[in-house]
Amino acid sequence: MKMKLFGAFAALALLAACSGTPAPKTASTGSGAVAAPSGPVPGSEQDLVANVGDRVFYKFNASTLSSDAKATLDRQAGWLGKYPNVQVQIAGNCDDRGTEEYNLALGERRANAARDYLVAKGVAASRITTISYGKDRPVAMGDNEQAWAQNRNAITAVH
């Protein structure tokens, strides 16, 4: 939870920097501006966001992992392998074009899809918790296709 504020800044930077399909952040997209002045501590939340990519995106009303999403999760699995003491929580989120209760379940499905992929890549299931916020934690505040695409996600955070 303590890292949520950072996540929000990252999302704002993403909004400002990107007009196309949402993509995982990398250090080269300018996120260094919001990282700690001395650079991310290896194995930290900032490190995950800046150098690995903390989130994957889904199509409307779906929880299938795209090839982009799998590439991000592959990097997350490698990073988690490098820092075996790190525990993470994956939060599943939805756009607001679904009803509240259904979206709670859909967000859980998305978080579980990301978790299951990481586990299949060798991350111990005991290191991962999941939570769904349905449509109640949007990272993009608008109401248009671009904002909704960013809000259909699973966000991995150091827990």
Partner 1 sequence: MDRNTNFLLPRRALFAGSAAAAFAPVLLATPAGAASAPAAAPSAVIDVNRARAAPIPVAIPDFAGADADSRALGHNIAQVITADLANCGLFKPIDPAGFVQNAATGDVPDWSAWRNIGAQALISGRVADAGGGKVRVEFRLWDILPQQQIQGTAYTTANSNWRRISHIIADVVYERLLGEKGYFDTRIVYVANTGPRSRRTKRLAVMDQDSANNRFLTDGTWMVLTPRFHPTRDEIAYMSYANDRPRVYIFDLASGRQRLLGEWQGMTFAPRFSPDGASVILSATHDIGSNIFVLDLAGGHERQLTNSGAIDTSPCFSPDGSQIVFNSDRGGDQQLYVMNADGGNVRRISYGQGRYATPVWSPRGDLIAFTRLGSGNWSIGVMQPDGSGERILSEGFSVEGPTFCPNGRVLMFWRDTPARNASGAGYSSRLVSIDITGFNERMVQTSTDASDPAWSPLGA
Burial of 119 from C-beta contacts in 10 A (0-12 / 13-18 / 19+): middle
- Chain positions 55 to 94 lying near partner 1, rule: CB under 8 A, are 61, 63
**Contact status: 23 vs partner 1 (CB under 8 A):** no
**Contact status: 113 vs partner 1 (CB under 8 A):** yes
**Contact status: 17 vs partner 1 (CB under 8 A):** no
Output the smallest distance, CB 79 to partner 1, in A.
Answer: 23
The conformation of residue 34, written as its DSSP 8-state character, comes to T
Nearer to partner 1, 48 or 106 (CB): 106
Q: Which stretch binds partner 1 (CB under 8 A): 20-28, 67-75, 76-84, 126-134?
A: 126-134
User: How many positions of this chain bind partner 1 (CB under 8 A)?
Assistant: 34
**Contact status: 137 vs partner 1 (CB under 8 A):** yes
Helix (H) or strand (E) holding 33: none
Output the smallest distance, CB 23 to partner 1, in A.
Answer: 17
- Chain positions 32 to 61 lying near partner 1, rule: CB under 8 A, are 61
Choice from 36, 124, 125, 141 touching partner 1 (CB under 8 A): 141
51 vs 21, 45, 48, 156, CA distance in Å?
Answer: 19, 10, 6, 13
**Whether the Cβ atoms of residue 111 and residue 131 lie closer than 8 Å to each other:** yes
Output the smallest distance, CB 9 to partner 1, in A.
Answer: 11
What SS3 class is residue 134? strand
Q: What is the phi/psi pair of residue 124, to 5°?
A: -65, 130
Q: What is the phi/psi pair of residue 157, to 5°?
A: -135, 145
